[in-house]
Structure 1
Amino acid sequence: MSKDLPQPPQQSEEVDLGQLFKLIGNVFSNFFRFIGSIFNKLFLAFVWLVFFVKKHVLKLAIAGIVGVILGIVLEKTSEPVYKSSITVKQNYNTGENLYNVIDYYNDLIKQDVNILKTVLGVKSEEAESILNFEIEPTISENQKLQEFHAYLKTLDTSLTKILDYKTFLKNSKDYHHQYQQITIKAKERNNFKTVFHKIISNINSNVYFKQEQEKDLRELKAQASAIFKGLIKSDTLLAVYQKAIVKSAENNNDSQTQITIANKGNQSSTKEFELYNKDLELRRELVEIEREIADKKHIIEITSSKQDSGTIDDKKELFGIMISPKLFYAIILTMFTFIVLLGFNVVKFLERYKDKI
Structure 2
Amino acid sequence: MNENSTNNQSTEEVDLGQLFKLIGDAFNRLFKFIGSIFKAIFSVIIYALKAVIVNFKIIVLTMVIAGVLGFALEKISPDVYSSSMLVRPYFDSKYQLVTNINYYNALIDNQDYATFSNFFDLSEEEAQDVLSFEISAGPETENERIKEYDSFIKSLDSARASTISYEDYLENRSVYSGSIFQIEAFSLKQDIFPKLEKGLNNAFTNEYTETKKRKRDSLITIQKNNIMEQLAKVDSLQRIYINVLEEDSKSTSTELILGEGLSLSKDRSNTREYDLLNKEIELRNTLKSLEERKVEEDVFFDVISEFQYVGNKTSHWYNRYVLIFPVLAFLMLCIIYLTSRIVKFAKAYE
Pairwise TM-score range, normalised by the shorter structure: 0.5 to 0.7
Q: Distance in 1 between matches of 2:130 and 2:68?
A: 29
Q: Distance in 1 between matches of 2:278 and 2:121?
A: 54
* Contact residue 80 and residue 187 of structure 1 kept, 8 A: yes
Further displaced range: 292-301 or 279-288: 279-288
Report 1:201-220 matches (<5 A): 201-204=202-205, 206-220=206-220
Report 1:82-93 matches (<5 A): 82-93=81-92
* Contact residue 89 and residue 179 of structure 1 kept, 8 A: yes
Map of 2:201 onto structure 1: 200
Q: Distance in 1 between matches of 2:69 and 2:75?
A: 10
**Is the aligned partner of 1:311 residue 2:303?**
no
Are the structure 2 counterparts of residues 39 and 313 from structure 1 closer, same or farther at C-alpha, using a change threshold of 3 Å?
farther
* Contact residue 63 and residue 330 of structure 1 kept, 8 A: no
Q: Distance in 2 between matches of 1:277 and 1:48?
A: 87
* Contact residue 88 and residue 180 of structure 1 kept, 8 A: yes
1:203 alignment partner, SS class: coil
Give the number of equivalent residue pairs: 317
Report 1:5-24 matches (<5 A): none
Q: CA deviation at 1:196?
A: 1.9
Report 1:1-357 matches (<5 A): 44=42, 73-109=72-108, 110-140=110-140, 142=142, 143-144=144-145, 146-163=147-164, 168=169, 172-204=173-205, 206-231=206-231, 259=268, 270-271=271-272, 274-275=275-276, 277-308=278-309, 310-317=310-317, 328-343=320-335, 346-347=338-339, 354=346, 355-356=348-349
Q: Distance in 1 between matches of 2:33 and 2:280?
A: 72
Q: CA deviation at 1:221?
A: 2.9
2:308 alignment partner, SS class: strand
* Contact residue 91 and residue 295 of structure 1 kept, 8 A: no
Q: Distance in 2 between matches of 1:286 and 1:42?
A: 80
Q: CA deviation at 1:214?
A: 0.8
Are the structure 2 counterparts of residues 67 and 164 from structure 1 closer, same or farther at C-alpha, using a change threshold of 3 Å?
farther
Map of 1:322 onto structure 2: none
One-letter identity of the residue aligned with 2:220: L
Further displaced range: 214-223 or 294-303: 294-303
Normalization by structure 1: what TM-score? 0.64
Map of 1:265 onto structure 2: none
The structure whose Rg is larger is 2
Q: Distance in 2 between matches of 1:136 and 1:190?
A: 23
Q: Distance in 2 between matches of 1:343 and 1:68?
A: 19
Deviations 1:293-317 (A, max 9, x none): 1243112232211313x31433114
1:313 alignment partner, SS class: strand
Q: Distance in 1 between matches of 2:97 and 2:201?
A: 9
2:291 alignment partner, SS class: helix
Q: Distance in 1 between matches of 2:170 and 2:82?
A: 30
* Contact residue 79 and residue 188 of structure 2 kept, 8 A: yes
Are the structure 2 counterparts of residues 36 and 288 from structure 1 closer, same or farther at C-alpha, using a change threshold of 3 Å?
farther
Q: Distance in 1 between matches of 2:63 and 2:201?
A: 45
Are the structure 2 counterparts of residues 279 and 48 from structure 1 closer, same or farther at C-alpha, using a change threshold of 3 Å?
farther
* Contact residue 102 and residue 135 of structure 1 kept, 8 A: yes
One-letter identity of the residue aligned with 2:84: S
Q: CA deviation at 1:211?
A: 1.7
Are the structure 2 counterparts of residues 89 and 346 from structure 1 closer, same or farther at C-alpha, using a change threshold of 3 Å?
same
1:83 alignment partner, SS class: strand
Q: Distance in 2 between matches of 1:53 and 1:241?
A: 104
Q: CA deviation at 1:203?
A: 2.9
**Structure 2 regions of 5+ residues with no counterpart?**
5-11, 252-265
Q: Distance in 1 between matches of 2:136 and 2:338?
A: 42
2:331 alignment partner, SS class: helix
Deviations 1:245-268 (A, max 9, x none): 99999x9xxxxx97499xxxxxxx
1:88 alignment partner, SS class: strand
Q: Distance in 2 between matches of 1:112 and 1:238?
A: 69
* Contact residue 74 and residue 321 of structure 2 kept, 8 A: no
Further displaced range: 336-345 or 290-299: 336-345
Q: Distance in 2 between matches of 1:240 and 1:107?
A: 69
Normalization by structure 2: what TM-score? 0.65
Are the structure 2 counterparts of residues 336 and 74 from structure 1 closer, same or farther at C-alpha, using a change threshold of 3 Å?
closer
Q: CA deviation at 1:90?
A: 1.4
**Structure 1 regions of 5+ residues with no counterpart?**
1-5, 7-13, 252-256, 262-269, 319-324
One-letter identity of the residue aligned with 1:336: L
Deviations 1:103-160 (A, max 9, x none): 3323333343222222322234322332223322225584555433321111001112
2:324 alignment partner, SS class: helix
Q: CA deviation at 1:212?
A: 1.5
